[in-house]
Structure 1
């Protein structure tokens, strides 16, 4: 017992109690919204608020274990209180790393306010009483639009937003390359949107900050789009100045596509593969065949084999048509930026011709089944139809779900718990697809793309 107490004491970190008065949109929260944020019952959101707030207050953490922050700060709590003149946020036993001389760091405070704002909006606008509004594709897209508008991300300006995808667990050379690409994008006036975490999600923003400073750009957007299951494992990096928390991974993915004007993919792991397959599942649809959307896969010279393996997997499973929708550029950040600029010009021309919005891609068709949240239970993972003979876009959607389940088993608390209780997820399919999938996943493990630290124990079994 004494040893356990000593270990707990050794893990104890400095904490702070604080009272914060948000400025801006948070001063108009309704009493109903505040009540739901305070409610710790099964229908309330207090536990979710606590976990997301703790992730923001530990921004910059190198861990990708969603339980780590909760174990380090077990007594942390947050209370949102409605006052006559606005909202008050009380923090109890908050990480001292979020404060300087007793004052919360301004950027962290802004991200904390974003957490409260988005969870309050979700509690009301996407609550059970509005479930009927989410039973159609148009209704779900409207929900994504509402969340982004509430976060003040929809700005009527020329297309200039590049979404950057890539892994949180990448090597130093790959990270430097993402910074170099971000620098070239920033020199050309492009803003950056990522999944908000470390690694390839931070590098492009860091590179762009220097370029934006050189160009004296005054209104820079470094947008981070996350969701509750991810944010605890991938805390926002310090450069993010616009954070939005979508309710689930499907709405997060749709937000990337609706908000961005082009996508760049850096080396990553299963989460990055999930994103690639999601986008291909959309671009391969007949309704989107003529819609320009620049899609570039890029990395340093050492990452060429990684992209070759990704490319081979896509050609085997989805065919040459899928491979024609993206371009692979190796070790040439300047060319990446120039190709993206050229692609975004085509996007602008197409949007004008179609009378579509610059700030929200209404015209991209996303089918209802791809918008439905996929809950990676063992039965759901085993039931995925990973066989030849299907339409490429449908196979891409199920492959995306397979990778999504592995992401959950790796870094999401609910998925990790399912694997601990029932063993690894089993993934079934045609022999050649399973062999290619197993080889790809094994390469991710060997290249340490699954986890930042610790020995990786697979949460999956591939069964031919």
Structure 2
């Protein structure tokens, strides 16, 4: 990626984060500790690159090495001074409105996350404490809206998909919007954009002026996959595990489109939770869908789940091929069951407190070579534990593919080595080979994909 035109500019927030304390400004200053500033700079650079067809954090960071942000506290509130910023984020010298919103959302979340961690009320040593932390992060972002009936549909899928698959996601989003449903995605390109784009049109047709296009991400992902400009509520969670928990706590149903390693990670996380005995009776509609051309992929993913986690795991979702209207109808029916269930048990519509999430699904996984090699991938494990470990394996592959830290680890130490029983490794290897053959690991157009892993049985 070559550096594009750059611009120097000054920008102030509008309706989000009006002021910072002197301590917060110091925390974010390059003259301070540096770590928070570096995090904010990385996220800001990704947001300013919205629309760029790049999925490599290292490439983006290197292309704009001289990009700087200076944070100024003034009588009228906080102001950001941007030096050598990507010019595509501006029109006639003015920052695009959606970009400005997301830029200050990033500032809000990073400041709040740091201050919450310093707070005495946060207890990250317990499962309940971690869920409370996720709740506080979402509430601070004004994502949680009490009293609104369940209608947030989470859409998961790949950033590297074919044009036909992308058009299909738009059709599904359109059908969801016609039924007054809102869309939540990982906020990037591909499947993370298509359903939102479809829903914006149908919301306009239905004269819905406050449609929600919620994007949930984390620093390592946003740096590689810039948010799409349709997102009107961006939340940056501290790590992938809290991001995944936010999806299942705030969403009321999930649609899974074709994708790659990241989609498999999300799917396995979800199945591991739904298979927990305490969640057996909890309604949570899950639909796998895609155009006719994607049926082999969806059936292969279905077969992988059956081979590794068994038939019970397969019972937690349904597959609908090439029928956007039916997907939306089934999701609408599922949301009615969610509404009834939560009313009967006095559970909140805006945050799924009753969903049991084991601590093993909440603890951040650091995809070092040692940790990846040490994953227990055995068929004799309880299915929800095996799902958790498979999720970690895919999380490492995502890191090695697109995250700056993971890419640098692979460059230094070579590919990750993933060990396990043949009964697990063979289906895993087959699935990963299919991802590579179908160009689902990276955005098309770049260099030929070189796997960041070796599967060893």
Do the structures match in fold with TM over 0.5? yes
Find out whether 1:387 has 2:378 as its counterpart: yes
Per mean C-alpha deviation after superposition, the further-off stretch among 398-407 and 40-49 is: 40-49
Find out whether 1:442 has 2:426 as its counterpart: no
Find out whether 1:409 has 2:392 as its counterpart: no
Find out whether 1:177 has 2:168 as its counterpart: yes
Matches for 1:8-407 after TM superposition, within 5 Å:
11-39=2-30, 44-127=35-118, 133-156=123-146, 157-407=148-398
Alpha-carbon distance between aligned partners in 2 of 1:130 and 1:330, rounded to the nearest angstrom: 50
Alpha-carbon distance between aligned partners in 1 of 2:341 and 2:121, rounded to the nearest angstrom: 34
Aligned counterpart, 1:456: 449
Contact 1:36–1:123 (8 Å) recurs in 2: no
After superposition, the Cα gap between the structure-2 partners of 1:11 and 1:28, relative to the gap in structure 1 and judged at 3 Å, is closer
1:150-202 CA distances to partner (integer Å, 9 max, x unpaired)? 11111121111000000000001100000000000000000000000000110
Alpha-carbon distance between aligned partners in 2 of 1:131 and 1:372, rounded to the nearest angstrom: 19
After superposition, the Cα gap between the structure-2 partners of 1:40 and 1:145, relative to the gap in structure 1 and judged at 3 Å, is farther
Alpha-carbon distance between aligned partners in 2 of 1:293 and 1:62, rounded to the nearest angstrom: 34
Q: TM-score, normalised by structure 1?
A: 0.96
Structure 2 residues without counterparts, runs of 5 or longer: none
Contact 1:40–1:47 (8 Å) recurs in 2: no
Alpha-carbon distance between aligned partners in 1 of 2:370 and 2:65, rounded to the nearest angstrom: 33
Alpha-carbon distance between aligned partners in 1 of 2:121 and 2:455, rounded to the nearest angstrom: 36
Structure 1 residues without counterparts, runs of 5 or longer: 1-9
After superposition, the Cα gap between the structure-2 partners of 1:456 and 1:12, relative to the gap in structure 1 and judged at 3 Å, is closer
Alpha-carbon distance between aligned partners in 1 of 2:139 and 2:88, rounded to the nearest angstrom: 31
Contact 2:14–2:101 (8 Å) recurs in 1: no
Alpha-carbon distance between aligned partners in 2 of 1:50 and 1:131, rounded to the nearest angstrom: 28
Q: Which runs of 4+ in 1 moved over 4 A?
A: 39-43, 129-132
Report the Cα offset of residue 86 of structure 1: 1.4
SS in 2 for 1:410: helix
After superposition, the Cα gap between the structure-2 partners of 1:43 and 1:20, relative to the gap in structure 1 and judged at 3 Å, is closer
SS in 1 for 2:10: strand
Contact 2:116–2:122 (8 Å) recurs in 1: no
Report the Cα offset of residue 35 of structure 1: 1.5
SS in 1 for 2:17: helix
Q: How many residues align?
A: 454
Report the Cα offset of residue 41 of structure 1: 5.6
Alpha-carbon distance between aligned partners in 1 of 2:142 and 2:382, rounded to the nearest angstrom: 38
Report the Cα offset of residue 122 of structure 1: 1.1
After superposition, the Cα gap between the structure-2 partners of 1:111 and 1:392, relative to the gap in structure 1 and judged at 3 Å, is same
Report the Cα offset of residue 43 of structure 1: 6.2
Alpha-carbon distance between aligned partners in 2 of 1:173 and 1:385, rounded to the nearest angstrom: 37
SS in 2 for 1:67: helix
Structure 1 vs Structure 2 CA RMSD: 1.3
SS in 1 for 2:7: strand
